[in-house]
Every structure is written in C-alpha cells, then in structure tokens.
Structure 1
Amino acid sequence: MHMHTHGIVLMRNFVGSKQKSEKESKMGHYMLLLTWFSTMDLHTFEPREAGDGFIRTNGVHFLLNGYPYYANGFNAYWLMYIASDPSQRYKVSAAFREASSHGLSVARTWAFSDGGYRPLQYSPGSYNEQMFKGLDFVIAEARKHGIKLILSLANNYESFGGKKQYVNWARSQGQYLTSDDDFFRNPVVKGFYKNHINTVLNRYNSFTGIHYKNDPTIMAWELMNEPRCQSDPSGGTIQAWITEMASHVKSIDRNHLLEAGLEGFYGQSTPQRKSLNPAGFNIGTDFIANNRIPGIDFATAHSYPDQWLSSSNDQAQLSFLNNWLNSHIQDAQYILRKPLLITEFGKSWKDPGYSTYQRDLLFNTVYYKIYLSAKRGGAAAGGLFWQLLTEGMDSFGDGYEIVLSQSPSTANVIAQQSHKLYQIRRIFARMRNIQKWKRARAARRDQWRGGNRGKRIGN
C-alpha cells in the first residue's frame, strides 16, 4: 500500500463464522465440488513431503500437507515493531487471537526496518537484536494461533527505510547514484539487499529454536512491498532484479514459497491488458512477465480503487475492481498457471462519502470473486485485507484499519468468508480421502486377483 503509515486491526470474541447465511447449502457446495473433482487428474493433489507443515504449490493450487489450501488473511505490518518492546507484546497476541477467532489464518507483515527510528538494520549488515527478537516473538506467536506468515523483505517506499535508505547507504560508501531506482541496478546496493536476505533467512529464532528458513509457520517470503521502477517503464530493470533475487532466495531456502510483492499492473508483455491498469500507472512492473520468473511460486495483486481512481464515484470504482479481479484470476489460472493471492485491498474511512456499507460491499466483492474461483478449484486462494489493528493502537490508524471488536458488520463479512473457504478445504480433503480409499481398494483387489491367478478353485 502506498500510504504505509502505521496500522493494524484488532479482533475479538466474534465467532460468527459458523453462521449459515451462505446462499448455497453445504450439499450444494459438495455436489459442485464433487462434479469438478471427478474431472480432475487423480494425482493433482498427491502429497509431496506431506505432513511437514510447509505450504507448497502444485499447478494453480496451494497445498498444505498434501491437501488443497485456501485461506482468509490480513495485513499487520506493525507486528515486529510492536513486539520489539516486551511490554507491548500483548497487542500482538491479542491481534492473533482475534484474527484466529474470525477464521483468519494468514498474516502479511514486514521483516524489514532499515535505518531511521528503531530500525532492524541500522547500517548495512548491522542488526538491532531487540528488533529481531520482536520478529522472533511474532513468528512464535503466529505458530501458537495457527496463523501462517508472509514476510516481506524490503519496502519500495520511504517508510521503514525502503529502497531510498539502501541507496543512501551506498552513496555514503562512495557510489555515485542519481535515483532511488538504482536500488534495482547498482551492484553494491544489490549486495546489501542480498545480505539482508541471508541474515533473515538464516536467523535462529530465540523463542522457537528454529531457523527461519526451516520454520513452516512462514508461508512465503516476499521480495519487496510493491516494487516500482518508474525510471524504466519498459519493465526490463524489475524483471532482471526479480530474476536475480528469486534465484538468490532459492539458493538459501528451498522450503518456502516466494512471491515478488507485486500490485498487479500489466506491462509490455501483454499490451492488450494495459487498458485494465488505472490511468497513469506505468511503473515498470509486468504482472505476467514478472510472475513467470522461475522461483516465483505464486502471483499477487493489490487493489485500492479508492486511491487509484480517487476522482471516480463508488460505482466506477467497483466496476474497476470487478474487472481487475476477473482478469488477474483468469490470468493466474490460464496463463501463469500459478496460485493467486489478493495480498492487499481495503477502503479508507477518510474517503469522501465513506460509509461502512461501502466498505463491506468492497470486501464482499473481493471475497465473492475469490470464493467463486476457489470452489471450482481455481487459482484464487485467498485475500488479505489492509489492515488489522487491535484496541489501543489509534496512532497506527491510516484510514484502512479494522479493529474487529469495533467493526461488527465488517467483522461478520470477514468471518463468513473464512468459514466458506474452510468449508471448501474440508470438502476437498474429503474428496481426496475418498480417492485414496478407492485407489487402495483397487490395489488390494488387483493384489488379491494376482495372488489367486492360476490357482485351482475348489477340489
């Protein structure tokens, strides 16, 4: 999100997730999925290294322990920052507790804070142990609440340092750099960033005793929050950078998934799709080309119609959102053949004419598109709203924050989506178990027939 100031959401005692206000009954769900499942290759969901708790991909699906994985989630960029102060850690615990009670099972947060106030990395390769212990705590606490984490490794923007801080560090070491976009090009800066990757992935967690690169609590690494390179609208610079850094991450950690942090803007590789971008967003990224890079395991998209089309009315913004979601879900399914997460979306109460109804409508629009794809076994696997806060965090509010205990109608929308995606997971798991049973029965039958072949029957 461009206005990444402070913020996250609090969740409390709102277990509306078992409500049956869904339009389709469980039987409707079941029959639809049964039909779809019967047309699938029986081996689509074969477990690879099943049982180790790492999320993996197979075609357009995420798998957890061999079973299809769909998840409702949230952003909480502030987790490490808050947890670095032991007296404030209860807020992290409260956020995870409230999130979990609403069925939220994936959180995206920052694994960076470069230079400036209370940094994680205060100069290239030099780290603040107290801040790292904050991140250790976040991972340990997420594990306790059954929440998977997407950890972002750098920021495009100036908050928490960003590419500007890396470029300034290189300047102070004698590099002549003219633009913050030199972050993507300069070998010295790239060396600083690669070192940060090494440090985070090899970190030994002081709470769990597990190195980050070996911890299944982490779902995925993200190269950067919303990479943009306006100085090279051709897309070549970002494409080369993602290629190089994806390869670097995979050389250290083959356990975890990796994504680039993209907002989803279309680029040169699909000129016919560029009309779907909001006007003026020619920022050097390319949803198709960037996500085709080996090592990028799944695609991401963000959506902020209220920011991107700020002069348009709500109806025009919703129309844009529908087209944006449709095209990205289709492209993930049929062109990229990789899973898709909508990793940021939201609506600000600071928008002119804002109402809770409008926010709920936006959430429902995003959630319904994901649900429609997921129930057919499609590429859309979940959405992460921006952003969750807990009580007593007003200074972190940016307009997009949701404190679950203070936003009952939106909390209800969130809980219902969690429940729907959970039902889909359960049904897919049941179908897969039926398949396994049928295969085992067939194998036993063949074995029995083979064992009895040629034997005289009777006397």
Structure 2
Amino acid sequence: MCGPHPVELELDDNASLSPSLPTPSIASDMEDEWPMVERRGTKLFASDLPFIIHGFNTYWLMSFAADEATRPRVTAAIAEAADAGLNVCRTWAFSDGGYRALQTAPFHYDEEVFQALDFVVSEARRHNMRLILSLCNNWEDYGGKAQYVRWGKDAGLDLTSEDDFFTDPTIRNYYKAFVEAVVTRINTITNEAYKDDPTILAWELINEPRCPSDPSGDTLQAWIEEMASCVKSMDPVHLLEIGIEGFYGPSTPELLPVNPDEYSGNAGTDFIRNHQAAGIDLASIHVYSDTWLPHSIEENHHKFVNAWMQQHIDDAANLLGMPIVIGEFGVSVKDGKFGNEFREAFMETVYRIFLSSWKGGVIGGGCLIWQLFPEGAEHMDDGYAVILAKSPSTLNLLANHSRNLNVAF
C-alpha cells in the first residue's frame, strides 16, 4: 500500500512515435526496444523526436477482449485507427463489479478479464499504438466510485454519499490495491510488467472526477495528491494524468466565467490547483459544448471551443508548465440536434487550435476524439461514435490531421 504523502519525481523515460503516424519517428528508426514517452517541460518526446498525441477513445476494449466472440473487434478498432494515422488510444483498465468485472470485489480480480486486458495491451503494441489507461470512473458505468461505496456499505462502513469514495480510508485503500494490481501486473502474453511497458503512455487516476459535496475543492485535491503519490511510488516512469474535465474552481475566481455554466465551478474540481499536485505530468481537459451549452447555435459552440481550449492551453503552458491532453472531445449526432457536417467542423476546430499552439512552440500533448468504433460495435454507440468504415469524410479528416502533424515537423 502507498503512503498518503505526495512525492516529487523526475521523469527520464524516452519513447518513439507510432509508425502509423507519418512523422520522422517511425518504426524503421527504432531498435528492438520501444522506449518510453517522456515529458520535457511542456512538450512530449520520443527519444529526441517530438511526440504529438493524435488519439482516440474506445473505452470497451477490455470487455470485448474478454469474450472470444467480440475479441476480433478489439484488433479491428486498433488496426483501423492505426491505418488512419492515429497513435494513442485511451481505454478503460477497470471494470468494477457486475458482468465481466475485472475487480469482482475489493482485493479480488478475475484472471480471465485481466488476461483480456493483457490482450489489449499486446495488440496495441503489435500495431504500434500507445495507450492511456484509466483506472476508475466517476460515473456508474463499469462500476466506478458508486461501486466502491457499495462495497464499503456491504463491509459495514457508515457511508452516505458517492463522494465518500474520496474520503473514507477503507475505500481509498480499495482503490490503491486495485491500482497496484494493474500497475504491477505481468502481462501473460508479453511477460512484461505494465509498469515497464512503453506501450502504456500514461495512467489516468479517474475519468471525469467530480466532488460536488465539497465545492471548495479540498476533498478532491487531497485525493489527487494522495493517489498521484501512490501511483508514482509504484511506477515512477510512466506519465500520469488526472482525467478531469477542466472546470476552473475557487483557486482562480477570475477564470470562473470561462466555465460553461455556474455549476461547473462548484463541481469540486479546480483545473489549476488540481494539476499543481506533485506527480501529475499532463494537464487533461474534455470538450463537450454540445451537452455543456444550453443552445444549439453553431457559431456559439465554435466561440466556446476556441475560448475554452485557448485558455487551458495558455494556463497549461504558463501556469502549470506541462503538456495538455484534450482527453475527450466530440459531438453527438444521436438526437439530430447536430449532424456530421457540424461534428467534422468541430473536430477541425479542436485540431487547428492545438496544432497552431504546438507550431508556435507554446505547448505539447495532443487530442483524443470520443470515440472511434469498428463495424460490429454499433450497439455500443452513445451518439458520439465514428465508424471509420462508414465515415469516409471523417476518415479523411483524421488522415489529413496526420499529414498536418507531419508537416509540422
């Protein structure tokens, strides 16, 4: 188990770009060893070559890999993205309770599901795809903090809120034990420990954490500091991000108007303060103007995305001194409010803003679209899924961004 005190660690790992991304850092440049990705100030590097994240989300890879019938979809998702020039996939390395759970109960893990995660990691490596592995969920999907609290209640703890996940010492130890099981896991396919595997670009503490029971932000801040210390004590090499959405909080009242609404500033998160925790390497934000803004005027969405991204890029560079990862961005076409044309324009805006800042020497990091699916996974679509085989114009957009990244070098 990890101690509660944050530790400061310097990273000296190196890594190479995916050969699928048409940049100077390609497979022919690499030896048998595939070194780690490293952070140098506000930039990421692969050995001595810049590394830009051109990524995507497909959260269900481990769950699909746990079933022989759906396992081919895992390979297809990774291979299709690699062919389009993408080089990083963000996916869940957790499934807490319920069907095909990785963590069936505190301190108990399903070996077959763990081997499914082994398969995801090995397939990513086979296609020269890096991974960002998220370790928990703020939401109930795949268990998350609600499941941890249910386990605590079953054990007789006096818990009254899902936010007790962040404060109760027993629950915090449940989480730490799970993180240790994942980070120190020996891959049964590659025989390499996850903590030593350069396929993993970064760990993510929790997807979209919020703690509205404490809008001061103190509760979540203490949890971030403790868990960042915990992860770094077990794995001082890999990069680490929080997974927050990017809402500004009480530490920067002058920036509260940048948030999409008043609630966002009282969600218990605090973009600047959270990322000042020792051990955090990447500033993470999400971009969902389609659900955050109450209107559907396209011009207003573009204005918001420009202001939201530019403010966070400037703050990551000037106040935090670290790269920025737009860990999720997308537009739902499910209810018909927006169509594919707007979604692609939205994507182009996100890519343009980041690339302009990167070319200007302001910031490193990159963007990961939510989300890419192969054919045969349509039933998992939440409205945001892009199926490349059925979306030739979006495929061209992604490939064009790859070419733009190549020109940037």
TM-score scaled by length of structure 2? 0.90
Please name the residue that 1:389 is paired with: 373
Please name the residue that 1:436 is paired with: none
Please name the residue that 1:98 is paired with: 80
From 276, 296, 315, give the equivalent of 2:299.
315
Tell me the amino acid that sits aligned with residue 102 of structure 2: L
1:73 partnered with 2:60:
no
From 233, 238, 250, give the equivalent of 1:268.
250
1:293 partnered with 2:253:
no
Equivalent-residue separation in structure 1 for 2:132 and 2:407 (angstroms): 23
From 372, 379, 396, give the equivalent of 1:412.
396
Please name the residue that 1:180 is paired with: 162
Question: More deviation in 372-381 or 259-268?
Answer: 372-381
From 292, 306, 309, give the equivalent of 2:290.
306
Tell me the amino acid that sits aligned with residue 284 of structure 2: T
1:243 partnered with 2:194:
no
From 98, 110, 113, give the equivalent of 1:128.
110
Equivalent-residue separation in structure 2 for 1:220 and 1:390 (angstroms): 24
1:205 partnered with 2:187:
yes
Indicate conservation of the 8 Å contact 2:88/2:129, yes or no.
yes
Please name the residue that 1:35 is paired with: none
Deviations 1:101-122 (A, max 9, x none): 1110000000100001111101
Indicate conservation of the 8 Å contact 1:306/1:351, yes or no.
no
Equivalent-residue separation in structure 1 for 2:361 and 2:66 (angstroms): 40
Tell me the amino acid that sits aligned with residue 341 of structure 1: V
Deviations 1:241-294 (A, max 9, x none): 000000000110011000000110001111111101111222000110001111
Tell me the amino acid that sits aligned with residue 376 of structure 2: G
1:349 partnered with 2:333:
yes
Equivalent-residue separation in structure 2 for 1:235 and 1:412 (angstroms): 42
Secondary structure, aligned partner of 2:53: coil
TM-score scaled by length of structure 1? 0.81
Specify every segment of 5 or more residues in structure 1 that has no aligned partner in the other structure, as ranges: 1-15, 19-25, 27-50, 428-459
Please name the residue that 1:360 is paired with: 344
Indicate conservation of the 8 Å contact 1:346/1:363, yes or no.
yes
Please name the residue that 1:255 is paired with: 237
Equivalent-residue separation in structure 2 for 1:380 and 1:412 (angstroms): 24
1:163 partnered with 2:145:
yes
Please name the residue that 1:84 is paired with: 66
Map 1:216-235; keep pairs closer than 5 Å: 216-235=198-217
Equivalent-residue separation in structure 2 for 1:365 and 1:287 (angstroms): 22
Indicate conservation of the 8 Å contact 1:149/1:220, yes or no.
yes
User: How far did 1:17 drift?
Assistant: 8.6
Please name the residue that 1:448 is paired with: none
Aligned pairs, number: 379
Indicate conservation of the 8 Å contact 1:17/1:412, yes or no.
no
User: How far did 1:351 drift?
Assistant: 4.2
Please name the residue that 1:46 is paired with: none
Judged with a 3 Å threshold, the aligned counterparts in structure 2 of structure 1 residues 401 and 136 are, in CA distance, closer, same or farther, namely same
Judged with a 3 Å threshold, the aligned counterparts in structure 2 of structure 1 residues 289 and 129 are, in CA distance, closer, same or farther, namely same
Q: CA RMSD in A?
A: 1.5
User: How far did 1:415 drift?
Assistant: 1.1
Identity of aligned residues (%): 48
Specify every segment of 5 or more residues in structure 2 that has no aligned partner in the other structure, as ranges: 1-19, 24-32
Please name the residue that 1:109 is paired with: 91
User: How far did 1:91 drift?
Assistant: 1.0
Secondary structure, aligned partner of 1:344: strand
User: How far did 1:318 drift?
Assistant: 1.5
Equivalent-residue separation in structure 2 for 1:316 and 1:174 (angstroms): 49
Question: More deviation in 99-108 or 63-72?
Answer: 63-72
Indicate conservation of the 8 Å contact 2:241/2:282, yes or no.
yes
1:331 partnered with 2:319:
no
Secondary structure, aligned partner of 1:86: coil
Secondary structure, aligned partner of 2:279: coil
Please name the residue that 1:62 is paired with: 44
Secondary structure, aligned partner of 2:163: helix
Indicate conservation of the 8 Å contact 1:202/1:211, yes or no.
yes
Equivalent-residue separation in structure 2 for 1:54 and 1:378 (angstroms): 23
Equivalent-residue separation in structure 1 for 2:212 and 2:258 (angstroms): 18
Equivalent-residue separation in structure 2 for 1:353 and 1:160 (angstroms): 28
